[in-house]
Amino acid sequence: MRDHATEELHDMTTTPHEPGLGAIMSERRQLTNVAYRLLGSLADAEDVVQETYARWYAMSARQRAAIDSPGAWLTRVASRICLDQLRSARARRERYVGAWLPEPLPGSTEWLTGPTGEGSADPADRVTLDESVGMAFLVVLDSMTPAERVAFVLHDVFRFSFTEVAGIVGRTPAACRQLASSARRRVRSSRDTAAPDGAEGESRTATAPGHAEVVREFKKAWEERDIEALVGLLDPAATAVADSGGLVTAVLEPIVGGEQVARGCLDIAGKVPGLTLVERTVNGQAGLVIELDGVIMAVIAFDVADGRVHRLWAMRNPEKLRPWTHPSGS
């Protein structure tokens, strides 16, 4: 019979090598990428990442060493946690005061760039990684069912196979394919609805320089309180949505109509003198930050097409502005 020391030596020589801390922590960026797109909140995404790592290190060294692909394991666990949160979020949203918007991200979103490997599906059904962190795209994601969102994001954005998605969502690969297809139709429908008559939704979005120029002109007209210029920059059917969470003052219902949105902007300027508009990058695109005495009061994201603003999303909820006000989020 082998003695205890011999058994330990045998275990050391036959057990796969456990991945090092550096290799495991290098997955943090990928996990944050996935979780942010699934939840629309950087704070929630970071919590998911922490929980994922907690589950990894709750296993024994032998269990960790036996996992063939730690990165895949971590992503799978993070996605399942997100799916659970998305399911429970529906009840919380019913109690939310006013409109709920995804949490806007400041500055460059290079750290949110995901994998670029090729997938097996038709490239026409793929979305670009830059688009997948845009506010317009995130708003559409929020209209999906939890299963649709997870299947679509993992497959169309992160190139997971439907077999891999099925293991996360708990459905068959065929069912996950249908979920992603349904989600894809939602995305296309949103583009078509926002597109001008006779225009293709896929090609209507402004280029980055064109988008920035419209936002710059919008800022100028707002500062000069030029109602005619503002109306000219807004699509006649433009909408503006504000998210305050009931924590600060904001219009709870969407403002519909270009002229109505323009007048709403001027009303804000009139009621709160001393506001400063600052051009900033919001979710990878040109946007505006409203400041009062150096304090950020709101962050505005724009949907621009054909030289006009079609949609504005104003974040007023101070809890969702933490990435903008906390030093680590600037």
pLDDT tens by residue, the chain, 330 residues? 445 444 444 444 445 567 778 888 889 988 999 999 999 998 999 999 999 999 999 999 999 999 999 999 999 999 999 999 999 987 777 788 999 999 999 875 444 544 433 443 443 344 555 677 889 999 999 999 999 999 999 999 999 999 999 999 999 999 999 999 999 999 888 776 655 444 444 445 677 789 999 999 999 999 999 999 999 999 999 999 999 999 998 999 999 999 999 999 999 988 888 999 999 999 989 999 999 999 999 999 999 999 999 999 999 999 999 989 874 543
> Residue 242's beta-bridge partner residues?
314
Nearest to 180 by CA among 212, 158, 196: 158
pLDDT single digits (tens) 234-244: 999 999 999 99
Domains and CATH numbers, the chain: 14-95 (no CATH), 208-329 (3.10.450.50)
> DSSP per residue over 129-148, as a string?
TTGGGSHHHHHHHHTS-HHH
DSSP type of residue 161: -
Q: Is 93 exposed, middle or buried (0-12, 13-18, 19+ CB in 10 A)?
A: exposed
Distance CA 152, CA 181 (A): 8
